[in-house]
Amino acid sequence: MLSIFHVRRALLSPRISSLSYFSSKATPSSSQVDLPEHANVVIVGGGIIGTSVAYHLGKLGIKDVVLLEQDQLTAGTTWHAAGLMTTYGSLSSTSIDMRMYTKKLYSEILTEETGLETGFMDCGFIEVACDRDRLHYFRRIAAFNRFLGIEVDEISADQVQEKFPLTTKDDILAGFYVANDGRVNPTDATMAMAKGARQYGVKILEGQEVLGVTTTNTLETGEPSKVTGVTVKNKNDPERPITISSPIVVNCAGMWARQFGEMAGVVVPNQAAEHYYLITEDIDGLDPKWPVLEDPSKCIYIRPEGRGLLVGFFEWEGATWNTGEIPNTFSFGQIEPDWDRMEPYLETAMARLVPEVHNVGLKTFFCGPESFTPDNSPCVGQAPNLQNYYIAAGLNSIGILTGGGIGKTLANWIHQGLPPSDIDVTGINVDRFHSYQANYDYRKQRVSESLGNTYKLLYPGHQPKTCRGVKKSALHGRLEDKNAYFHDVSGWESPGWYAPTASEAVSGEGTFGRPEYFTHWEAEHRACRENVALFDMSFMSKFLVQGYDAGKFLNHLSTANVDGPSSSIVYTQWLNENGFLEADLTVTKLNEDSFLVIATDTMHNHVSSHMTSRLSRDWHCTVTDVTARYAQINLQGPNSRDLLQRITSRNMMEDFEFRRAEEIEIGLARAICTRITYVGELGYELFIPSEHAVYVYDQIIAAGEEFGLKHAGLKALGSLRLEKGYRDYGHDMDNTDTILDAGLSFTCDFEKEGGFIGMEHILQAKADAKEYGGLTRRMVNVKVPLEVTDPLLYHGEILYRNGEPICDIRMGSYGHTVNAGVGLAMLQSKAGEPIKKDYIQNASWELEIADKMYPCEVSLSPFYDPKNTRIKL
């Protein structure tokens, strides 16, 4: 019998048929005559995701849904997936919700509806921790998962070996066990959903190659471009493609999704990469019902396959495959294994297994493509530049275990025409990506890293190492000279913090406690509170809205009245037609027909699309992206006015009241100056033409010597704003929240002419709250004393009221002014009890961080300057 270490030459032709679920591929039965002339929705791709979208659309009652698969169902990636169905392992409520629903779909719903088995086996799942930091991190995950309803048990190394006898245990500190997780047969699950879709009236056609998407002509219609249908290869006459008209197209093309998206100018930056697993010969005493075992420290997951083992790998550095173009004919193909690259991982994997396994022969060493994205999160939602073009792709090897949830979410999105309000989609929305991220070099470098991150312990503040320096502000060189440690901010290089010397401007070792740069961060934070600090915020998204109707158009979108006096800046929210939050931003009225819209970097395409998708010939205005046109320097702190006064002739005391916005002179240059703050202090934001940015910066630095001006980075910005309770859409607010939940209804002007999008829903919610005696869902500030040795707040820590878990921390930091951890959380009262001061004050509050409870304070008002005296100095 061949040893696992001597199989290189013996397995040149892997025997893939050994996996039971590989043998149930469907046979194409469709011909060209089956193609309809019209459909309400056309889905392209028949893997687990495409069939899930089809099934859920049919279940919603959508008629005339057509799924087109270029080969056979499960082609591409689904057919060779390992079939893990695990709910444990994420600090994302979105991912957990999708996993839990998917498991229920596979274990109950599909079989009840279709009579077909999905191969679901609740054999259990164990994640092992082999070092102290992973143990801490997994305890954080376990607490968060338990709060969301997953029954996670922390078990000992002995208990791990009892449940999976073939594992070694000497280095295991603990295991995290979910008894009813397990595995599923990907092909059977796909076929069950396909049958369910057909039962609901969906037409599934195999052997149909989609050549492209047809769209409207923007110049002719005066409206944003929309989908009108797809073209399909005509087998009888290849020169004359067949057109299916349809108002909605869904790209579920898996590893071909990027290439298919490019046909319509849509960015889907996913990339296929090599994924390996091996399958052993039969092992005496192995029970097929043993749990799935995952050991990320050794880059492996293990599960029984028949009477042998399947061992899968996620390497520390992945290998992209066919970065240029993936052939359409590669449907059920295999990739030749790279033995030299994988042999060290094979050897490491064996350390997890008892010696008796080492001499067991191998049936297969398999390599097939899995699709990954630049940030290891899926691409889901509507394309920002093409209306009614939807995407569900780039699943980063979790397509099987989230497939049901992805399909349900996107189906609801298509049905409503808006993101569903029951699940946060801000982190998976495809509109977060930019076109350069689909570049050949970008995908090749970043996807290798993102696959490698699958099993790495990513500490808070983790920064990607590849594809850096793509976008730099005009001030980059100057800030580099100030020893900035740069963060990747939506591709921009932006200072996270500053070091005293260049040699110290490195991240150091990761930690969940106080990082090595803690004192530098604290000094920046305190300089802003006590003196004056400079922030480079050039990465912020900036849009110029101009024209006769610019004010009316923006007022239509904005909850606040942004079309008031010229030279003023207004903080506002944008809602969707169902009254849920879509954006959090400022609008500056430069003059009667010119406005500057400023939004956070992560929402760049989202904000742009929100505007352009609602433009038509009825609105006489234009939207221009001017992000790169202006550098942005924020001067914040009690001495910011005095510093700025040194470099401008404008009287900053008398002429610049709070929320004033005007162009001012700074030496030989000019800049748009707005008096506003995101840190809770007297402060100003300067929008400087890029060609003048360095000159203005130098003027500020020269004048700042008198005041002891200090540079500050994103770490300080985060801790300052959280002490003040300022919100950040996409982090502590999302599409599941209303403006009332978020405590921002003070921005609503219900009396302005024409109202605003979603206003009727907010008025109804206010009336309901009045009837019930108050809101039952509210965002609150949390403060928890932390010793030097304690872990810090980041995200996902669980808040307890009177001993009962009530919600999680959406975003946390350390507040250097209040000397405690600070965070924002969304309270949801369990019995519909109104959340008022007595609800908070007459209760005992604790915060769970990993496995430890900390007493804490909860407040509707911020812990720093609740009466806003500082910002109006």
pLDDT in tens, 584-618: 999 999 999 999 999 999 999 999 999 999 998 89
Listed residue (525, 486, 540, 497) closest to 719, CA to CA: 525
Sheet of 308-313: strands edge to edge? 153-155, 174-178, 125-129, 292-295, 300-305, 308-313, 271-280, 362-372
- Predicted pLDDT at 33: 65
pLDDT in tens, 282-322: 999 999 999 999 999 999 999 999 999 999 999 999 999 99
Q: Look at residue 5 and tell me whether its pLDDT is greater than 60.
A: no
Listed residue (413, 402, 410) closest to 377, CA to CA: 402
User: SS3 for 347?
Assistant: helix
Asked whether residue 309 is assigned to any structural domain, the reply reads: yes
15 band by pLDDT with thresholds 50, 70 and 90 = very low
Asked whether residue 843 is assigned to any structural domain, the reply reads: yes
pLDDT in tens, 171-180: 999 999 999 9
Which pair of tokens denotes residue 813?
């930091």
Sequence-distant (≥ 6) Cβ neighbours of residue 854 within 8 angstroms = 784, 785, 786, 790, 846, 847, 848
Q: Look at residue 24 and tell me whether its pLDDT is greater than 70.
A: no
Do you know the residue count of the chain? 873
pLDDT in tens, 95-106: 999 999 999 999
Q: Is 96:147 a contact under the CB 8 Å cutoff?
A: no
Asked whether residue 424 is assigned to any structural domain, the reply reads: no
pLDDT in tens, 803-855: 999 999 999 999 999 999 999 999 999 888 999 999 999 999 999 999 999 99
Asked whether residue 92 is assigned to any structural domain, the reply reads: yes
32 band by pLDDT with thresholds 50, 70 and 90 = low
* Mean pLDDT confidence for 786-805: 97
pLDDT in tens, 41-60: 999 999 999 999 999 999 99
Asked whether residue 448 is assigned to any structural domain, the reply reads: no
Phi, psi for residue 491 in degrees, rounded to 5: 95, -20
Asked whether residue 700 is assigned to any structural domain, the reply reads: no
pLDDT in tens, 544-569: 999 999 999 999 999 999 999 999 99
Asked whether residue 816 is assigned to any structural domain, the reply reads: yes
Q: Is 613:656 a contact under the CB 8 Å cutoff?
A: no
Q: Look at residue 18 and tell me whether its pLDDT is greater than 80.
A: no
Q: Look at residue 28 and tell me whether its pLDDT is greater than 70.
A: no
Distance CA 451, CA 376 (A): 7
pLDDT in tens, 394-419: 999 999 999 999 999 999 999 999 99
Q: What is the residue range of 847's domain?
A: 773-871
Number of independent structural domains in the chain: 2
- Predicted pLDDT at 179: 98
Q: Look at residue 3 and tell me whether its pLDDT is greater than 70.
A: no
* Mean pLDDT confidence for 360-368: 95
Last residue of a domain, which of 326, 358, 390? 358
Q: Is 542:687 a contact under the CB 8 Å cutoff?
A: yes
pLDDT in tens, 469-519: 999 999 999 999 999 999 999 999 999 999 999 989 888 789 999 999 999
445 band by pLDDT with thresholds 50, 70 and 90 = very high
CATH number for position 149: 3.30.9.10
Last residue of a domain, which of 301, 329, 358? 358
31 band by pLDDT with thresholds 50, 70 and 90 = low
Q: Look at residue 14 and tell me whether its pLDDT is greater than 60.
A: no
* Mean pLDDT confidence for 140-161: 98
User: SS3 for 196?
Assistant: helix
pLDDT in tens, 335-357: 999 999 999 999 999 999 999 99
Q: Look at residue 1 and tell me whether its pLDDT is greater than 60.
A: no
CATH number for position 808: 2.40.30.110
What is the rounded end-to-end Cα distance, in angstroms, of the chain?
Answer: 81
Last residue of a domain, which of 289, 323, 358? 358
* Mean pLDDT confidence for 710-735: 98
Phi, psi for residue 140 in degrees, rounded to 5: -60, -45
Q: Which helix (H) or strand (E) holds 364?
A: strand 362-372
- Share the mean pLDDT of the chain: 95
pTM of full prediction above 0.75: yes
Asked whether residue 793 is assigned to any structural domain, the reply reads: yes
Which pair of tokens denotes residue 580?
């849920």
